[in-house]
Amino acid sequence: MIDTNISFNDMCGVLETMVQKLYGEDTKIRLRPKYFHFVEPGVNGEVTCFLCHGQGCKLCKQTGWLEIFGAGMVHPNVLKAGKVDPNKYQGFAFGFGLTRLVMLKYNIDDVRLLQSGDLRFLNQF
């Protein structure tokens, strides 16, 4: 998203709304600082674990959270490279891990199942 008056809070609101629409209104997000190319600041995005609902389990390594996306405010140099005036425009970008999205959507508790090539498992979808 690139426009005038786009803030970090806008990014948080979009991400929170997105995960709540995907996984339910009680889903929470947690952002932790992380370096990514092309954004400043960058964050790792986590959502409450679908299996234990934040209590801690084997899947979330007892943290209650699952990391499913990276995000950040677009770096001014990226805007300049796109011939966009960084003094007038701001923006944010994000990307979700596809396997994590599928795990959360279908309550799959072991990512290795998705990469196993086992057609008995994969044909369920």
* Interaction site with Zn ion (CB under 5 A): 49, 51-52, 57, 59-60
Q: Least separation, in Å, of the C-beta of 109 and Zn ion?
A: 9
- Length of the chain in residues, anyone? 125
Angle between helix axes 8-23 and 98-106 (nearest 10 degrees) is: 40
Q: Least separation, in Å, of the C-beta of 51 and Zn ion?
A: 5
Give every CB contact of residue 4 below 8 A, 6+ residues apart in sequence. Answer: 88, 89, 90
Q: Least separation, in Å, of the C-beta of 15 and Zn ion?
A: 20
Nearer to Zn ion, 60 or 93 (CB): 60
Nearer to Zn ion, 64 or 72 (CB): 64
Nearer to Zn ion, 85 or 110 (CB): 110
Q: With beta carbons less than 8 A apart as the criterion, state whether 48 and 24 touch.
A: no
Nearer to Zn ion, 11 or 68 (CB): 68
Q: Least separation, in Å, of the C-beta of 41 and Zn ion?
A: 27
